Structure 1
Amino acid sequence: MTTATAVAARGIHKSFGSTRALRGVDLALAPGRCLGLVGRNGAGKSTMVSILSGLQRPDAGEVTFDGEPAPPAGAVHAWREKIATVHQHSMIVPELTVAENVFLGRLPSRRGRVDWSSVRADARAVLGEWGTAVDAAGLCRDLSVEQRQIVELARAVAAGTRVLLLDEPTAALEHDAVQRLFARVRQLVDSGVAVLYISHHLEEVFDICDDVAVLRDGELVLSAPTIALRTDDLVNAMVHGTTTPTTTTVATPPVTVQNLVAPEVDSSASSSSSPTSAVLEVRNLSVASPNGDLSGVSLSVRPGESVGVIGLISSGVVTLGRTAAGTQKADEGDIVVGGRTLPPGDRAAALKAGVGYIPEDRRMAGFVGGLSIAENMTMSVTDQLSAGKFGILGPRAVIEAAKPWAESLALVSSSLKQHVDDLSGGNQQKVTVARALARGPRLLVAITPTRGVDVASKELLLQALRQAADAGAGVLLATDELDDLAYCDRVLVLVRGRIAAERPGGELDRAALIAAIEGVAA
């Protein structure tokens, strides 16, 4: 192993109010090696990335590049010369061309003017090295998720970066796209680039990383070559001997809170529904959508039943979830909840009918970042919590209603008054799930609910969905991750917008399921 260091962080401390995000962390990246950084949500990974990217200044400690002090925090251009970061959420400017995004902030010029012919030619050359057919002159808004990620990687390559941070890069990629990404990362590592790879998928860490470091509660608790470790070693380091994920239980919020947040269901809808009838019926649904088309899809979900729908991202799983939740209009077919057909694409009507919703993109649709944890968790039940003649909503009532959910989902925060924007991605997801459950929905639609969540928190979230079903709700779980199906009663496989297979829940034959998802078998 080479002893050279491309970037080193020594004795890094960082606090946000009373929350100590990092506590004396030492981390070093070597040229030509890929270091995996893992840890539970709230462990300090995002804070470390922000410090290594120059976006935040540590309270104590230092960052060096090739032994020289790092630029001042906030000196964006100086940091870009040292290090490139590909974030989980795309930083591409959709209204600019691919070429403009590749050379964003450093467009080549001639005699004081941008040399557009050079911009396009140089972008084509860089993209050509990746063996991609992305059009340098095309707008980024028309690209797929994988193509946008290629553009971000091409930007780093074009800048000549020798240090690359990849923050959850596979979160929105299908299996084949992940393998293509890994091939590109290996190219960079082989060329001498130092790579920091952050992921919740431990199998990816073993696949792509030479070394691994584990953060827990802001401290570095393990650092070793990947070849010397097993998955259990990483999990144990992450949870430090707490109850293993397979036996973790979720505390049920007090009955008083459940009574406060009973679902507001239209009486005309409930009158035609019996306890044994389907809470959700999808009838001959066809939708044209950038998230994957649907063609003649029909299915049902009974009260107390959890139905998983799995497929590639392009198969239509997201489209199905959105349509059932009332956020996507259908071209043909009906969504029937509690015996009543919902107006197409009407989220307000779906909410009134008792449909809870966990969207696939928490940042865009899951929470309001500038509001507190408590305000977000109780957003769907403010009418139930308001008191008095004038419907006054007291801060204490909001906090008290949110507490049981924060406790049951093991939320990590300084207080329930903390802004959701300041939480880690996994804790933001817990807030999103709590908001969807708070009203006691008769139907819960969850789309990829564990994306970007650590192994222990994933189990908590999945058990929360299972408990909603055990309490009588119907659950429609649309996902592209096999592990999400652990508590489903039935599993449907979508292939190219059609239901290609159905499997009973319980112990799933993963090989057969993967084959069905890939369209190899049905």
Structure 2
Amino acid sequence: MVDPSPGRGPVVEADGISKRFGATVALSDAGISVAPGESHALVGRNGAGKSTLVSILTGLQQPDTGTLRFHGEPAPAPGDTDAWRSRVACVYQRSTIIPGLTVAENLFLDRQSTGALRPISWKRLRHRASDLLAEYGVDVDPAARAEDLTVEQRQFVEIARALSFGARFIILDEPTAKLDARGIERLFDKLRALQRQGVAFLFISHHLQEVYELCGTVTVYRDARHIVTAPVAELGQEALVEAMTGESPRGGEPAWSVTCGTSALAPLLEVSGLSLDGAYHDVTLTVHAGEVVGLAGAAASGNVRLGETLAGLRRPRSGTVTVAGRPVRTGHVPDALAAGIGFVPEDRHLQGLVPDRSVAENATLTVTDQLGPFGMVLPSRTRAFAERMIAGLGIKTPGASASVSDLSGGNQQKVVIARALATRPHVLVAVRPTNGVDVKSKEALLGAVRGVADSGKSALIVSDELDDLRVCDRVLVMFHGRVVAEFPHGWSDERLVAAMEGMPGLNDTKESDASHH
């Protein structure tokens, strides 16, 4: 790692940064400082404020209070795109490379010609691209189409493009999420080489072991606040997770426990050898009657894709799903419904609600066959059905005919859950069921999920939110597409987070031990 030479200030320095969105405090008096040639990790749980800080560091948002400086100079004016590009770039988890263009075209998009009125010389453009790629040791053909590149190659192209604007500070947002072990190793080698040239990186990752492999300094955010900045070598793994969660480790327990006990009650959901390319591999699990099971995992763990597969939204490459002894045709939503799987999707706005329709219509979308004879939908039956659900879940609405878009977020989410429960499913699969709702609504929503199990059915909560998982009888943890651990009820925040973040140093359990549940 390159130490900053005397007289050279930080490449970026943010101090006293606060940002609110309405009543939500996204950042409160937070800050960060990154030195030239440094690889600096920024870690924290979802909602800690990392994304808001990135949006401020890249000029997409302006802070309400605080100062931001690059190389000791004030940040550029809002909207001065060229000035921002020359100071900072962000390589996001979702690539910004345009697939239909060549590497050279992507590198010099909107800069193809050296003069405003000159025609584009494609030969000269490819030479410029070759020189740029060679300068930073990126072995990619400038004439190759971007859609033919690997994920790793696209990341290298994005980094080279950022450097071509003059930026010497690059933010990497979950850069290893879609890379295999060899790809991660090559990426880290490239980053270390660029560090020796004085390029600084802000490394954001849920895989904390990578922080120890790559970074010299780590900053932890929690609940919109800066908690600690320290040299990685001086902050042990348990101390790092404690800073993220606010909970001290509890002695006397194994780091993660894997329980192999079986329930005496009937299995309602049985998943065997389920695999989906690019998402998860060989997942086997069982959920029994009367159980709420958590499926925890950070970004790119595969847990959300698995939940969507159970609901029929994705077709796996291999494996079987059985509900109450009945095989389910995978990749087919009607068959999943018919088999007894109720589903609460991750995003109620995009996937869960028809905003210009009434509460009654939204709540009964899955049971139209019960609302009248010969395929007819009788308004009186729809209203009566919906009113029972409104009363049962305590949905606050002027009436069944009110537009669902007029409800609060928590009550909209209750409508989504009501619809999932309308079919009286054997298994309720709920993805982040309390996302974006207030504390009181969270309690009611999780109570509704718990009530499914208490009535003799079962539920699977797919989430990385610890509050969602506390209602579970046990929690399975996914990491890099595999189930790696299982926790009984009563787990500690520190150990569950360590498992989700892939911290083998805090784990006495091998992956293979957890894959048989």
Per the normalisation by structure 2, the TM-score is 0.64
Q: 1:67 to 1:42 in 2, by over 3 A?
A: same
**Of the candidates 177, 187, 197, which is equivalent to residue 171 of structure 1?**
177
Aligned runs of 1:107-506 on 2, under 5 Å?
107-109=112-114, 112-128=118-134, 134-241=140-247, 276=266, 279-280=269-270, 291=278, 301=286, 303=288, 324-329=310-315, 336-343=322-329, 345-355=331-341, 366=347, 368=349, 382-383=363-364, 386-387=386-387, 392=401, 399-400=410-411, 402=413, 415=438, 450=464, 457=465, 466-467=472-473, 480=480, 484-487=484-487
**Of the candidates 6, 10, 19, which is equivalent to residue 5 of structure 1?**
10
Quote the Cα distance in structure 2 between the aligned partners of 1:397 and 1:23: 26
Question: Does the 8 A contact of 1:463 with 1:487 survive in 2?
Answer: no
Question: Does the 8 A contact of 1:281 with 1:336 survive in 2?
Answer: yes
Q: 1:330 to 1:196 in 2, by over 3 A?
A: closer
Q: 1:398 to 1:51 in 2, by over 3 A?
A: closer
Quote the Cα distance in structure 2 between the aligned partners of 1:150 and 1:172: 14
Structure 1 residue 164 displacement after superposition: 0.7
**Of the candidates 105, 108, 133, which is equivalent to residue 103 of structure 1?**
108
Q: What is residue 499 of structure 1 aligned with on the other side? A: none
Question: Does the 8 A contact of 2:294 with 2:474 survive in 1?
Answer: no
Structure 1 residue 133 displacement after superposition: 5.4
Quote the Cα distance in structure 2 between the aligned partners of 1:96 and 1:309: 38
**Of the candidates 58, 62, 65, which is equivalent to residue 63 of structure 2?**
58
Q: SS at the partner of 2:171? A: strand
Q: 1:513 to 1:319 in 2, by over 3 A?
A: same
Q: 1:182 to 1:333 in 2, by over 3 A?
A: closer
Q: 1:468 to 1:401 in 2, by over 3 A?
A: farther
Question: Does the 8 A contact of 2:363 with 2:416 survive in 1?
Answer: no
Question: Does the 8 A contact of 2:283 with 2:482 survive in 1?
Answer: no
Structure 1 residue 235 displacement after superposition: 2.6
Q: 1:174 to 1:165 in 2, by over 3 A?
A: same
The answer to whether 1:46 aligns with 2:27 is: no
Quote the Cα distance in structure 2 between the aligned partners of 1:11 and 1:318: 35
Structure 1 residue 118 displacement after superposition: 3.0
Quote the Cα distance in structure 2 between the aligned partners of 1:213 and 1:396: 39
> Per-residue CA shift, 1:496-516, capped at 9, x if unaligned?
xxxxxxxxxxx87428679x9
2:333 maps to a residue whose letter is: R
Q: If you compute each CA radius of gyration, which structure gives the higher value, 1 or 2?
A: 2
Identity among equivalent pairs (%): 34
Q: 1:277 to 1:224 in 2, by over 3 A?
A: closer
Quote the Cα distance in structure 2 between the aligned partners of 1:329 and 1:482: 17
Q: CA RMSD in A?
A: 5.3
Structure 1 residue 33 displacement after superposition: 1.0
> Per-residue CA shift, 1:109-146, capped at 9, x if unaligned?
46522232233333344445666654433333344433
Question: Does the 8 A contact of 1:18 with 1:414 survive in 2?
Answer: no
Structure 1 residue 6 displacement after superposition: 1.4
Quote the Cα distance in structure 1 between the aligned partners of 2:51 and 2:362: 31
Q: 1:275 to 1:240 in 2, by over 3 A?
A: closer
Q: What is residue 70 of structure 1 aligned with on the other side? A: 75
Q: What is residue 79 of structure 1 aligned with on the other side? A: 84
Q: 1:98 to 1:352 in 2, by over 3 A?
A: farther
Quote the Cα distance in structure 2 between the aligned partners of 1:379 and 1:8: 52
Question: Does the 8 A contact of 1:292 with 1:318 survive in 2?
Answer: no
Structure 1 residue 212 displacement after superposition: 1.7
Out of 163-172 and 115-124, give the one that drifted further.
115-124
Question: Does the 8 A contact of 2:277 with 2:316 survive in 1?
Answer: no
Structure 1 residue 403 displacement after superposition: 7.8
Q: SS at the partner of 1:24? A: strand
Q: 1:120 to 1:37 in 2, by over 3 A?
A: same
Structure 1 residue 169 displacement after superposition: 1.7
Aligned runs of 1:6-45 on 2, under 5 Å?
6-45=11-50
Quote the Cα distance in structure 2 between the aligned partners of 1:484 and 1:511: 5
> Per-residue CA shift, 1:403-428, capped at 9, x if unaligned?
8999x98968585899xxxxxxxxxx
> Per-residue CA shift, 1:385-416, capped at 9, x if unaligned?
8328995366669735858999x989685858
Quote the Cα distance in structure 2 between the aligned partners of 1:300 and 1:25: 41
Structure 1 residue 85 displacement after superposition: 0.6
Structure 1 residue 10 displacement after superposition: 2.4
Structure 1 residue 103 displacement after superposition: 2.4
Structure 1 residue 29 displacement after superposition: 1.5
Quote the Cα distance in structure 1 between the aligned partners of 2:129 and 2:440: 46
Q: SS at the partner of 1:11? A: strand
1:96 maps to a residue whose letter is: L
Question: Does the 8 A contact of 1:95 with 1:139 survive in 2?
Answer: yes
Question: Does the 8 A contact of 2:20 with 2:64 survive in 1?
Answer: yes
Quote the Cα distance in structure 2 between the aligned partners of 1:484 and 1:57: 40
Q: 1:355 to 1:134 in 2, by over 3 A?
A: farther
Per the normalisation by structure 1, the TM-score is 0.64
Q: 1:138 to 1:323 in 2, by over 3 A?
A: farther
Question: Does the 8 A contact of 2:360 with 2:386 survive in 1?
Answer: no
Structure 1 residue 332 displacement after superposition: 8.7
Quote the Cα distance in structure 1 between the aligned partners of 2:86 and 2:360: 43
> Per-residue CA shift, 1:306-355, capped at 9, x if unaligned?
79999xx99x9999876554234478987554444444532243134333
Structure 2 residue runs without a partner (length 5+): 254-263, 368-384, 391-398, 418-430, 489-506
Quote the Cα distance in structure 1 between the aligned partners of 2:342 and 2:145: 35
Quote the Cα distance in structure 2 between the aligned partners of 1:62 and 1:369: 36
Question: Does the 8 A contact of 2:484 with 2:511 survive in 1?
Answer: no
Quote the Cα distance in structure 2 between the aligned partners of 1:246 and 1:113: 72
Quote the Cα distance in structure 2 between the aligned partners of 1:198 and 1:60: 23
